[in-house]
Structure 1
Amino acid sequence: MRTIVKSPAATAMRVPALAWLLLTALAARAVTLGNPIVGVDEEFYYTAGRMMAGGAWPYVDVWDRKPLGLFLVYWLPGHWPPPLGIWLYQFLALAAVVATALLIGRIATRAGWHRGALLAGIFYLLWLNLADGQGGQSPVFYNLLMAGAATMILDRGRGWRRAVLAMLLVGLALQIKYAAVFEGMAFGLWLLADEWRRERRIEAVLMLGALLVTAALVPTIAAWLAFLAAGHGDAFVYANFVSITQRRADPIGEAIGNLLTDTLLLAPLLAMAIAVPRHPGDGVERQAALFLRLWLAAAVLGFLTFGSWFNHYTLPVMLPAACCAAGFVAHRRRGRAIGVIVAAVVFVAGQIVLQAERRTRGTPAQFQRTVAAIGKGPGTLYVYNGSTMLYTATGRRPVTAYLFPTHLMLAREAGAVGIDQPAEIDRIFARRPDVVVMQTVEDGEDLAQRERVERHLLAYRADATTLPLGNKRFTLYRAKSSTPPPVAR
């Protein structure tokens, strides 16, 4: 067995790279660290993690259509209440993006773009802030797995072991978000084509294909079997594979507007990724560069396929785009100077975006005032529209498995969560929640559903004042038998 000896110089080079990337990540995310309301999705994921730590089952006790792996990521920090649990999940996300940036540098080096490797990792860290990647969005975690899979493919050598391990990482990524399927298919096809190029034997290709498909499916099959053994197999299948097909499309005007915004976010990075000169390296490096372009094409295809085009849907594209952009920095004349300028501009733009989102979504101080106004448990809470973090921050029990408000109140979700939503509203109020949180009307809200809630609220009393949270205002309704919290003095 051949022993690989790493030179002291090679080891020393990694320390400054890690330091640069860690400092960049901390500077980019400093304004959001510890903030309980970074984004509605991760507020829900952490809340679900808290419930799972108490024994709740996803898809049964707390409903969503995200894969089990994402909830397991949040299950660990979910063992701790705010603020510690919030800091923990955000540091997990920080570690994930720094590790991903390190792998970007390694991948870029495999393509002969070592001169642009560090800047490519920095591009990735900074571009995340433009598209809701400043916290713990799902691609923040599964991008790390996809980068690991890509590294294994490029380091594969002649054996099958690394190819199978690469597809196992893809399978784990699928259990964080199924959107990774397009990139995973591209990885698998590349490995099969590479096997054919090496062996020219169809039986070898078929055998490898069977192994790769099995490795990619093992995590999802294991998750399904666990739910099947617990008697929740149907709930797992519906939430993971059926419900998304029943959700209605976004209005065409909204979808096109989102697509244009996302295109602008990605355009400079994609421009650098595409403007890579003819590869001057050896055959191995040219193959690596070709693989990275295939990966980028697959990520773009996956992004275009979904149709909703929220900002964070661009995050998977940023990973291969950053890898390819290393070629621009490494080989274009004045590439590194341009790269540094681009990084500086994106850093400033990202901070502007984060400050704007802070004004839109609210500040931690505003959130704490809302928590204080609701009052901490015991007692039950129903957030018809607002932050699911209110459940964990107040310690109050939910009265429905459908904690994520949009599943019950958006028109596009009607008939797509496995229940009759108006009937679920009636069941919620039959349980007499002690406090109900109402927010100003949301875009795309089912107004008939809101009117149904308002009829139930006739049996409640509204607090005298409304509470601002960013550009929204909340009204709290209390059951007439409940006591408001004492006023802080």
Structure 2
Amino acid sequence: MSGREAALIGSLLLVFALVTRIATFGHPDLHIDETFYFAAGVEMVHGAIPYVDVWDRKPPGHFLLFGALAAISDWYVTYQIAATIFAAATALTIYAMARGLTSRGPALLGAGTYLTAICLFHGQGGQSPVFYNLFIAAAAALSLASIPRFESRAAQRAVALAMLLAGIAITIKTTAVFEAMFLGLFAAGLQVRTAGIGRTTMLRILGWTALGLLPSALFAAWYALNGYWDEYWTAMVLSNLRKPVEDNGGMQRLLILALMLLPLGAAGILALTRISGIYRLFFAGWLLAALIGFFSVPAFYLHYALPLLVPLCALAPASLAWPRTGAVLLGIAAVMPVLFHPFFGFAETREARTAMSRLAAAIERSKGDGPLLIYDGPPLLYTLTGSRFPTPLAFPNHLHQASESDVSHIATLSEVERLLAQRPGAIVDRTTKVTNTATSTLVRAYAKRNCRKVASEPLLEGWDIEVVVYGHCRAAADQ
């Protein structure tokens, strides 16, 4: 692909990405995890250290990414704009890979399908795959580009850069390790096929492995050298072992996901019969690695399928070699997001923004000089009210979900008792049952006994759930 073609296609895809996502710009509660990470990024700008002052299981690269975005601006739309740029860049990379299999028109259709499909799978905001998909896609594209002249210096540089990019992806989402491992094994296989097993081959494979491990190793070394190894190790390893697997509808979600992916998946499988040799092996292996990553966390939420869309959208355009079947499958895959996702839901964004503004104003009026505690509600309210996190467990799920109890280095019930002993000036909760009854009993009893209900707003579209602010808590407690 020439530079001129890349600039033209990249511009078209960026405009299309804006069209598909602009209705969500300014939505303050697209998904609780992505808004939490932006709020955590703001905390990092004020000196918070991930896993020490703000806790979650995502790798440090994910925290660093949102911290960098918050350093640009504490306006939460910043991460939504960045996610749009990442999505467009990923689509351009998909176009480049598909262009090696088919002509410009089908390749552009595959790239455009990625931009609409990620919205259908809850990637219209800043879910982590929207960001790390770019690093995996770029690593895959570099690996593909190295195939024709693998022994050349340019190809060897491409492979080295691919391993580094794959390593960066792992620091954003751990499940990317499966795709990264495949890319490394593929490069190693090409090296053995080209040069045999010898000193040069072994040194190159060791070098590529080191580059893939380097980003994670640097983070681990920083935490160890600064005395935070226990917190880091708990977040990266022990917390995942401690968390129980909950049967909360995962199989039903898996069935829905399978049906939603069926047209694009079928087009991808059809395309595999069109291509041959090393390229068929590459795409089949990459898709298998992405599937292993998908099944490695058996919760099966919609956004867990986002990594699958990269190899499928790069591969599926080749199915048009069978005009009738390929066109039907790829056409359904392209049209389905338009039928089921509200690409122009500006009203929903306005309503959510208005509701969040009312909640923030209520907190500011009623909090007094006490801390804010968001027990169950949008963590972005910390940022919007200028409140610092009162606890490292500021992601509300860690406080109110039984499956998250005591998975960190902090005892959950004791931490809630400590928070309430500080006499919060305002508490945010939702009108719904939660699974951690021990903490909910304490928090809701405190709110009932010491606070007054000052605001209530619906934020989850289609759910009979409201976010409630209980304020004037310190004043009420003193009466």
What is the TM-score when the length of structure 2 is the normalising length?
0.90
Deviation per CA, 1:158-213: give whole Å up to 9, x if none.
24332222111111000101110111111111111111111122444432321122
- Structure 1: which 5+ runs fail to align? 1-5, 484-489
Return the alpha-carbon distance in structure 2 between the equivalents of residues 357 and 245 of structure 1: 42
Return the alpha-carbon distance in structure 1 between the equivalents of residues 228 and 22 of structure 2: 41
Q: Secondary structure at the match of 2:187?
A: helix
**Contact conserved, 2:267 with 2:326, CA < 8 A, in 1?**
no
Alignment partner for residue 259 of structure 2, among 237, 260, 264?
264
- Aligned ranges for residues 46-445 of structure 1 at < 5 Å? 46-79=38-71, 85-112=75-102, 114-156=104-146, 157-158=150-151, 159=153, 160-251=156-247, 254-276=249-271, 278-279=273-274, 286-333=277-324, 335=326, 339-340=330-331, 342-351=333-342, 355=345, 358=348, 363-375=352-364, 379-442=370-433, 445=435
Q: Relative to 1, partners in 2 of residues 1:228 and 1:479: Cα closer, same or farther, differing over 3 Å? A: farther
Q: Relative to 1, partners in 2 of residues 1:387 and 1:464: Cα closer, same or farther, differing over 3 Å? A: closer
Q: Relative to 1, partners in 2 of residues 1:91 and 1:335: Cα closer, same or farther, differing over 3 Å? A: same
Q: Relative to 1, partners in 2 of residues 1:263 and 1:344: Cα closer, same or farther, differing over 3 Å? A: closer
Instruction: Please report how far the alpha carbon of residue 80 of structure 1 lies from its aligned counterpart in structure 2 after TM superposition.
Output: 5.5
Q: Relative to 1, partners in 2 of residues 1:480 and 1:187: Cα closer, same or farther, differing over 3 Å? A: closer
Find out whether 1:35 has 2:27 as its counterpart: yes
Return the alpha-carbon distance in structure 1 between the equivalents of residues 348 and 436 of structure 2: 27
Return the alpha-carbon distance in structure 1 between the equivalents of residues 347 and 312 of structure 2: 25
Return the alpha-carbon distance in structure 2 between the equivalents of residues 58 and 136 of structure 1: 19
Return the alpha-carbon distance in structure 1 between the equivalents of residues 355 and 454 of structure 2: 17
Return the alpha-carbon distance in structure 1 between the equivalents of residues 6 and 421 of structure 2: 60
Return the alpha-carbon distance in structure 1 between the equivalents of residues 442 and 167 of structure 2: 42
Deviation per CA, 1:119-161: give whole Å up to 9, x if none.
1111111100111100111111110000110111112232433
The residue type equivalent to 1:71 in the other structure is F
Q: Relative to 1, partners in 2 of residues 1:112 and 1:420: Cα closer, same or farther, differing over 3 Å? A: same
Instruction: Please report how far the alpha carbon of residue 358 of structure 1 lies from its aligned counterpart in structure 2 after TM superposition.
Output: 4.7
Q: Relative to 1, partners in 2 of residues 1:321 and 1:356: Cα closer, same or farther, differing over 3 Å? A: farther
Q: Which is further off, 95-104 or 429-438? A: 429-438
Return the alpha-carbon distance in structure 2 between the equivalents of residues 372 and 49 of structure 1: 22
Return the alpha-carbon distance in structure 2 between the equivalents of residues 138 and 389 of structure 1: 17
Q: Relative to 1, partners in 2 of residues 1:200 and 1:77: Cα closer, same or farther, differing over 3 Å? A: closer
Instruction: Please report how far the alpha carbon of residue 379 of structure 1 lies from its aligned counterpart in structure 2 after TM superposition.
Output: 4.5
Instruction: Please report how far the alpha carbon of residue 305 of structure 1 lies from its aligned counterpart in structure 2 after TM superposition.
Output: 2.0
Return the alpha-carbon distance in structure 1 between the equivalents of residues 454 and 94 of structure 2: 54
Q: Relative to 1, partners in 2 of residues 1:356 and 1:249: Cα closer, same or farther, differing over 3 Å? A: farther
- Structure 2: which 5+ runs fail to align? none
**Contact conserved, 1:145 with 1:170, CA < 8 A, in 2?**
yes
**Contact conserved, 1:111 with 1:289, CA < 8 A, in 2?**
no
The residue type equivalent to 2:302 in the other structure is N
Deviation per CA, 1:52-104: give whole Å up to 9, x if none.
0111101011111111111111112213665xx22221111111010110010
The residue type equivalent to 1:424 in the other structure is E
Return the alpha-carbon distance in structure 2 between the equivalents of residues 467 and 448 of structure 1: 26
The residue type equivalent to 2:426 in the other structure is V
Give the CA RMSD over aligned residues. 2.5
Q: Secondary structure at the match of 1:301?
A: helix
Q: Relative to 1, partners in 2 of residues 1:458 and 1:318: Cα closer, same or farther, differing over 3 Å? A: same
Q: Secondary structure at the match of 1:235?
A: helix
Return the alpha-carbon distance in structure 2 between the equivalents of residues 362 and 286 of structure 1: 53
Alignment partner for residue 462 of structure 1, among 442, 452, 473?
452
- 1:486 is matched with none
**Contact conserved, 2:17 with 2:84, CA < 8 A, in 1?**
yes
**Contact conserved, 1:380 with 1:433, CA < 8 A, in 2?**
yes
**Contact conserved, 1:28 with 1:350, CA < 8 A, in 2?**
no
Return the alpha-carbon distance in structure 2 between the equivalents of residues 14 and 97 of structure 1: 15
Q: Relative to 1, partners in 2 of residues 1:228 and 1:162: Cα closer, same or farther, differing over 3 Å? A: same
Return the alpha-carbon distance in structure 2 between the equivalents of residues 128 and 214 of structure 1: 32
Deviation per CA, 1:289-345: give whole Å up to 9, x if none.
331121011101211121111111101111111111121135534745764564234
Return the alpha-carbon distance in structure 1 between the equivalents of residues 208 and 176 of structure 2: 15
Q: Secondary structure at the match of 1:397?
A: coil
The residue type equivalent to 2:42 in the other structure is R
Return the alpha-carbon distance in structure 2 between the equivalents of residues 307 and 113 of structure 1: 37
Percent identity reads 32
The residue type equivalent to 1:477 in the other structure is Y
Q: Relative to 1, partners in 2 of residues 1:30 and 1:329: Cα closer, same or farther, differing over 3 Å? A: farther
**Contact conserved, 1:115 with 1:330, CA < 8 A, in 2?**
no
Return the alpha-carbon distance in structure 2 between the equivalents of residues 246 and 398 of structure 1: 24
